[in-house]
Structure 1
Amino acid sequence: MVTRGPLLFALAGTALVIVEGLTPVGLVRDLLFLTIGAYAVAGTVVGIRRNRPRRPRPWYLLAAGLASWVLGDALWVFSDHVLGIDPFPSVADVAYLSAYPLLAAGLHMLLPVRDRRTTVRALLDTAIVGVCVALVLWVAFIEPTWTEPVGTFAQQATAVAYPIGDAVLLGYLVHLGVSSVVRDRSLRLIAASLVLVLVADVAFQSLAYVDQYEGSVFVLDPLFALSYLALAAAALDPSMRAVGDVRPARIEAGGRIAFLTCAALFLPVTLLVEDLLAQTPHVTEAAAAAAVVIGLIAARMVLMLRHIQRQAAHLSALADTDFLTGLLNRRRLVHVLSRRTADARRGAQGRSAVLLLGLDRFTEVNDTLGHRIGDELLRAVAARLRSAAPEGAVLARLGGDVFGVLVPGVADDDDAARHARLLAGLLGDPVVVSDLGVDVEGGVGFVVLPDDGADPAELLHRADVALSAARGVADRVARYDPRMELGGALAPELMAELGAAMAAGQVVVHYQPQVDVCSGRVVGAEALVRWQHPVHGLLGPNAFIPAAERTGQIRPLTRLVLDHALAECARWQADRPLSVSVNLSVRNLLDPAIVDDVRDALERHRLDPSLVELEITETSAMVDQARSATALRALAALGVTLSIDDYGTGYGSLAYLQELPVQRLKIDRSFVSDLRRSHASAAIVRSVVDLSQRLGLSVVAEGVEDDETLVLLRDMRCDLAQGFGLGRPVPADRLCDVVRRIDAHVPAVLGLGVPAQRAH
């Protein structure tokens, strides 16, 4: 946008040029011309002082060159109108010619300093044009002047100096154009000023060969005046502050090729014009110039081809790189796998392992801490991968929170599993991002090439299947098995079956007993959803819950689980007052209808709300703290028990629990399963139990695998326990048998304080 000051300057200057052009030749016209020149010099200085460019020196040199031109005009007017003489050369010519080095120095300093390749390309383009222009100037002006027998040496030298000076300015004009910097309005105005003065100078020197040219040259005054004003306008424009700053170079365009083609044709066209004008052709000069230009064009084409090759390589690298982490992307990993599988088919390569590392609850980190922290977390995990990857490994980010590692040359399945465990161990310590320690867990699924397939897409799919299974096992590592549950890699066509599966009764609920650690008796059960698929068998929640959340089917699925669990709990009451716990996802917690869904289920089955426990993860409660707190208070008002599931895997802070109406904490299995072997895990569990009881919260230990762990929990005064060591999840019709075995076995273990035969 043109600012008001430069616009007013341009309008006033244009008005003066019009008045000067309409004024008859004489002193008044010459004084008006001098006024325009002085006006332009003043405008240039004012623009420099007002805009304060980062590089003021070249602008002052341009102002000095303009002032030198105007001084030459003033000396010529004084000589012509006061002294009545018009010598050649004169003092005015000294001023005129002095402007050229000043302007050239200013233009040279305005050219931004670039990398060597860009500078060489611009110099070659300038040289090509320079040779062509030099030939024209030699043929049209320099040779006729220099070989003219009339005139002194000083007159001939002065006459030749003007076209040489113009050629220098033209060279800088071309350099500005081919250096990819003429994009600011200020630079465009400088270019316009140079074009105007060059056109005027060439016309002036051409008229010098016409008889009685003295009266004709005055028609060129407006061109000179406009060139002065254009230079001043360039200094007044605010964009002049950044002129000369380094800019990204443009990619070679078709216009550059057209430019080189025109340059190659320029020299023969010059000879053709001379022939048409019946002049003696300058064959020798044209041949010499053609040889130089062809050599320069050849060098320029070589540089252009190299530039295009570098651009292609750069674009190829961008297409193969994950912009966030700098690792390879999925496309490139598939390409590498294609080559590996092809080599494996030929027997040219040994076994390789394809490992996928997936982060748990990354979406919740994004939702809670923001996408910036999430991005930094991904970059930090990528850095850990780089530092720990074996030599020759190929690292990639496949998208989201999933990373891929191709490890060549694995000896056997055990070696591949060892690499997978090392990869999973990278997430053992908190990841520090923005001075914030983020606890992040992950699983690793892997396949072995060529044992598990020879198609890259199928290998990645099977590794993803194994990754989903890994998230449900203790060591968080899984090798692909055809019988494995499909996990988070559930195919879209199977996800489309979920709605029909719920209607057909394929979605069922299993129940895992919860034991009172003090009495050893079963007091409740956790409801765990399963999908009895007719083709793939019994699928665990990891196979379809994540996809159900993404596709919006989590609400009807939660309603179904609530209905089954509360109906079963109501039937239990006739035999034994067991409670039931149901898991809610983050989507459920933020669903405005969840309170009504729970209320309706309670009323439909006429169940005491105190027998119902709703479990949420601690990170779920922190996704939207205000909405979560509102929903939890409304649920608590119904009389149900609220529990924080997997405690210790997210924020690990009891401070926020004071603001939420929860009555129970469930310690994550990762701490409980390692209780006997890790002093750190034992200290964490003991601290959570002690602090929870001080806050009036009961504690459930999840992941009890053996009797020794149960005894330790009893000694720590933990309230409830569950795990495979007590009883596995079973259908409702088998729960009574499991409860009877636990009631017969666990009290004996707790009463004696020594291991007894397992309950399962």
Structure 2
Amino acid sequence: MRADTRVPRRNGRFRTVVSRIPVIATITLAALYLVSLLLGDLARFDVVGVWLGITTELSAVAVCVCAVLRTRLSQWQVVFGAAAVSIYTAGDVYYLAALQGQQALTVVSAADVAYLAFYPLMLGVLVVTVRKLKRVTWPLLLDSLVGALAAASVMAMILAPVLRAEASGGTALGVVVVVIYPLLDLLLITAVGGLLSSRGLDLGPRWPLLVTGLILFAAADIGYALGVQEYAVGSVADAGWILGLAAIALWVDGGARTGTEAFRPRTRGVPAATALLLSTTSAVVVLLVGCQTPIAPLAQVFAASALLLAAVPLLFRNRMLTTLATTDELTGLPNRRGLVTDLRGRLGGRRSGALFFLDLDRFKDVNDALGHTVGDALLVQVAERFARQLRSNDLLARLGGDEFAVFLDGVEADQALKVARRLEAALSEPVQIGTASLKTSVSIGIARTPENGTDIDLLMRKADIAMFRAKSSRSGHHLYDAMDDDGGARKLRTLQELRTALVEDQFELHYQPKVRLRDDAVTSVEALIRWNHPVLGQLPPTSFLPLAEEAGLMPELSSLVLGSAVDQVARWYADGLTVSVAVNLSGSCIQHGLPRQVRTLLAQHGMPADCLMLEITEDMLMADPAHSSKILAQLRADGVQVSIDDFGTGYSSLAYLRDLPADELKLDRSFITAMRTDGRAGGLVGSIIELAHSLDLRVVAEGVDNEETLLELRALGCDLAQGFHFAKPLPAAKLVPWITRNTPVVRVTAVPG
């Protein structure tokens, strides 16, 4: 029931009590009517029972009127149901008034018009509900029609004596009117059964009352049809109509009290095939009976029609199975098989096109932290956002998990890149799932046809390679290049070269300054590895670190970086330049032996522990917070500094931030880059800075590329910054001259905070 905010709560409670009076009265009168019937003459009810029955019906009308007023005509199910009860009761009132001393009317009257109107109004209740089912409307209607034909065949067989009544003096119109009532009842019951088995919408918390009411109506109509010659007002048949009407009225009241949620989506119900199974079984029984004994030909026609109609879906089974096999169940998009099928007709010749492979970043964190239900809802909304960025003839598919694919027909490289940027921008706003606001991003790999091939498998492999490059470099999207190909032979060759590089020390560290914003002093630097490949030249870490991680070489590579970084900082100390050095560690390096390894290394060089800072990415910390916290706590106890890198890109960081042993937060560059165009990004950065300071943590901003961003960070109270605005990563030989030229040199015995 809707609450009127303009009415005091006391009046609202009063109206609620008043609205329940008709319900209580209806239940009481129906009970009295049933008791009186059971205690009286079951063949013929007395006059008290007749008027008690009509009073029960009028009370049911009052229940329906209150329900309509309560919903203010906003629920059509309630309106139609109330109209059906009211018009049927009006028919009964007219029927009693027209008797004039007779036991029953012998001709069709205006009361039958009211009775017949009851059925389309109740059918209207179901139609309004079915309209909300969208994709299952036609299957439901087909099942209902099969059920109606099967019911008609049973009725035609049972009511054969009534159908022959015309030959013994009955009128054709009278016979039709008598027979049509039970057929309409069974049509409604079949439709309700189909609706309840559809797993689409619930008919409300009191749906058993609706089913009970319709069954009582059907029983009364069948009993009336079989004994039409002996019917008199007050007979048992009246009980079915009166009690059925009361049950339907109480169902209407239940729908009005629970609001629109009475007809909410449902996830469980009776087995979907139950209604159809009962219908087809009934039709088969009628035909079998017809083979043994003579029955009405009309019954056989109805039964055969029901079976033929039930077989219609079988004609389309192959098509349906093909659709299911090529469609992703969650999003309704083509799946991998559907993508391949569609691509066969689009590839070939010299027509240009582009195949995208898209992979959501950190999607596993969503499933782990919030559950697969939230993860599925996120995938559905992401698919919808992607679809809005594409043309009608573009192909969007879900390959599985958090992977999607897009094929653009007739586009060149520059057009493909524009679409890639649009798809990235589609996820710039958080996705709202219930009360959770999720921020996600996507890595996109692009392969072009015919430049990169016209074979489907080859094109998909190259798009997958490009997507891997985009993810490992965090560039958002990457256009496939021949140098990206990491096929089996090339991968094995690169791995062998990597092992050789470790033995021959082909690696070099570059250092990027971290500038303290309050006085522009360089207090620390970040060590970044480079591979001086003998053939390809100097390679960035994104070109070999993923392979090193995959091959299990990261611990060995990290030991090399740690040793080189500590050795270099010791040299700087000896020259009077006191700066700390930050070294990035992967999750595979956070092992129990790490604190002992670091202590030994520092002791060998005679360096204080605070000259070293270890940077661990937030997602690595969140993968196993308890394990990471224990090891990092040992390092901090020894005096080694700890920095949480890429802060803000995970989903559970705030829950663990208070307990994580850390000295510093490094804001992910995506926040800093967004500050130039998005005012909210600046507000978010400011909030994180305040949060970090409240926990005695320093804040470092990565990716500072312009003066405007630097000024804003100063205003927000950020502690440190690094980026191309200050300097690119420099070799050790060039770092000291740069510091001397551009910033005050810090010459102290401890690393400043």
Task: Give the TM-score category using the shorter length.
Answer: 0.5 to 0.7
Answer yes or no: is the 8 Å Cα contact 1:446–1:478 preserved in 2.
Answer: yes
SS in structure 1 at match of 2:355? strand
Larger Rg: 1
* CA distance in structure 2 between the aligned counterparts of 1:439 and 1:338, rounded to whole angstroms: 35
Change in 2 beyond 3 A, CA 1:476/1:314:
same
Aligned equivalent of 1:59: 85
Equivalent in 593, 597, 607 of residue 631 of structure 2: 597
Equivalent in 629, 635, 641 of residue 658 of structure 2: 629
Answer yes or no: is the 8 Å Cα contact 2:508–2:529 preserved in 1.
Answer: yes
Equivalent in 504, 511, 534 of residue 513 of structure 1: 511
Aligned AA (1:142): E
Structure 1 residues 61-140: aligned runs within 5 Å: 61-67=87-93, 75-76=101-102, 92-93=104-105, 99-112=111-124, 114=127, 118=141, 121=145, 125=149, 129=153, 132=156, 136=160, 140=164
SS in structure 1 at match of 2:424? coil
* CA distance in structure 2 between the aligned counterparts of 1:485 and 1:692, rounded to whole angstroms: 45
Answer yes or no: is the 8 Å Cα contact 2:355–2:463 preserved in 1.
Answer: yes
Of 582-591 and 569-578, the range deviating more from structure 2: 569-578
Equivalent in 418, 424, 427 of residue 427 of structure 1: 424
Structure 1 residues 638-653: aligned runs within 5 Å: 641-649=663-671, 652-653=684-685
Aligned AA (1:195): A
Change in 2 beyond 3 A, CA 1:575/1:630:
closer
The Cα of 1:328 is off from its aligned counterpart by: 3.6
Percent identity over paired residues: 16
* CA distance in structure 2 between the aligned counterparts of 1:427 and 1:749, rounded to whole angstroms: 37
Answer yes or no: is the 8 Å Cα contact 1:352–1:406 preserved in 2.
Answer: yes
Aligned AA (1:646): D
Aligned equivalent of 1:167: 179
Structure 1 residues 48-447: aligned runs within 5 Å: 48-51=61-64, 52=66, 54=78, 55-67=81-93, 75-76=101-102, 92-93=104-105, 99-112=111-124, 114=127, 118=141, 121=145, 125=149, 129=153, 132=156, 136=160, 140-145=164-169, 162-180=174-192, 184=207, 185-203=209-227, 205=229, 223-235=236-248, 237-238=250-251, 253-261=276-284, 272=294, 294=301, 320=326, 327-337=333-343, 344=348, 352-361=353-362, 382=383, 385-389=386-390, 392-399=393-400, 401-409=402-410, 415-416=412-413, 419-420=416-417, 422-424=419-421, 426-427=423-424, 430-431=428-429, 442-447=442-447
TM-score by length of 2: 0.62
Answer yes or no: is the 8 Å Cα contact 1:465–1:486 preserved in 2.
Answer: yes
Answer yes or no: is the 8 Å Cα contact 1:48–1:235 preserved in 2.
Answer: no
Change in 2 beyond 3 A, CA 1:657/1:450:
same
* CA distance in structure 2 between the aligned counterparts of 1:135 and 1:15, rounded to whole angstroms: 30
The Cα of 1:591 is off from its aligned counterpart by: 1.9
* CA distance in structure 2 between the aligned counterparts of 1:438 and 1:194, rounded to whole angstroms: 53
Aligned equivalent of 1:657: 689
Structure 1 residues 532-681: aligned runs within 5 Å: 540=544, 542=546, 557-559=589-591, 567-573=600-606, 578-588=611-621, 591-601=625-635, 608-609=639-640, 612-619=641-648, 623-631=652-660, 635=661, 641-649=663-671, 652-660=684-692, 661=695, 664-669=698-703, 671-672=704-705, 675=706
The Cα of 1:143 is off from its aligned counterpart by: 0.7
1:47 aligns with 2:73: no
SS in structure 2 at match of 1:93? coil
Deviations along 1:694-727, one digit per CA (max 9) or x if unpaired, are xxx1x2314x4xxxx5xxx2xxxxxxx5x44x14
Answer yes or no: is the 8 Å Cα contact 2:210–2:248 preserved in 1.
Answer: yes
Answer yes or no: is the 8 Å Cα contact 1:526–1:581 preserved in 2.
Answer: no
Give 5+ residue unaligned stretches, structure 2.
Answer: 1-22, 68-77, 132-136, 197-206, 257-261, 492-498, 534-540, 553-584, 673-680, 745-753
* CA distance in structure 2 between the aligned counterparts of 1:623 and 1:743, rounded to whole angstroms: 39
Aligned AA (1:105): A
The Cα of 1:614 is off from its aligned counterpart by: 1.8
Answer yes or no: is the 8 Å Cα contact 1:186–1:234 preserved in 2.
Answer: yes
Answer yes or no: is the 8 Å Cα contact 1:350–1:409 preserved in 2.
Answer: yes
The Cα of 1:619 is off from its aligned counterpart by: 0.9
The Cα of 1:406 is off from its aligned counterpart by: 1.7
TM-score by length of 1: 0.61
Answer yes or no: is the 8 Å Cα contact 1:356–1:446 preserved in 2.
Answer: yes
Aligned AA (1:657): I
* CA distance in structure 2 between the aligned counterparts of 1:658 and 1:260, rounded to whole angstroms: 75
Deviations along 1:640-675, one digit per CA (max 9) or x if unpaired, are x41324255285422232232465444333x53xx5
Of 109-118 and 245-254, the range deviating more from structure 2: 245-254
Aligned equivalent of 2:467: 467
The Cα of 1:40 is off from its aligned counterpart by: 1.8
Change in 2 beyond 3 A, CA 1:351/1:547:
farther
Q: CA RMSD in A?
A: 5.8
The Cα of 1:597 is off from its aligned counterpart by: 1.5
Aligned AA (2:339): L
Aligned equivalent of 1:81: none
The Cα of 1:405 is off from its aligned counterpart by: 1.2
Aligned equivalent of 1:37: 50
* CA distance in structure 2 between the aligned counterparts of 1:514 and 1:573, rounded to whole angstroms: 24
Change in 2 beyond 3 A, CA 1:592/1:666:
same
Answer yes or no: is the 8 Å Cα contact 1:558–1:584 preserved in 2.
Answer: no
* CA distance in structure 2 between the aligned counterparts of 1:690 and 1:273, rounded to whole angstroms: 93
* CA distance in structure 2 between the aligned counterparts of 1:642 and 1:12, rounded to whole angstroms: 78
* CA distance in structure 2 between the aligned counterparts of 1:225 and 1:466, rounded to whole angstroms: 76
Deviations along 1:559-597, one digit per CA (max 9) or x if unpaired, are 366665665455455699953432242452672454441
Aligned AA (1:186): L
Answer yes or no: is the 8 Å Cα contact 1:354–1:447 preserved in 2.
Answer: yes
* CA distance in structure 2 between the aligned counterparts of 1:136 and 1:426, rounded to whole angstroms: 67
The Cα of 1:6 is off from its aligned counterpart by: 7.0
The Cα of 1:556 is off from its aligned counterpart by: 5.8
* CA distance in structure 2 between the aligned counterparts of 1:580 and 1:241, rounded to whole angstroms: 66
Deviations along 1:72-123, one digit per CA (max 9) or x if unpaired, are 788247xxxxxxxxxxxxxx43688554333222233222274897499489
SS in structure 1 at match of 2:408? strand
Change in 2 beyond 3 A, CA 1:468/1:571:
farther
Change in 2 beyond 3 A, CA 1:331/1:48:
farther
Aligned AA (1:50): V
Answer yes or no: is the 8 Å Cα contact 2:150–2:280 preserved in 1.
Answer: no
Deviations along 1:399-443, one digit per CA (max 9) or x if unpaired, are 555432123456xxxx44751464035435843656999986543
Aligned equivalent of 1:740: 733
Aligned equivalent of 1:678: none
The Cα of 1:628 is off from its aligned counterpart by: 0.8
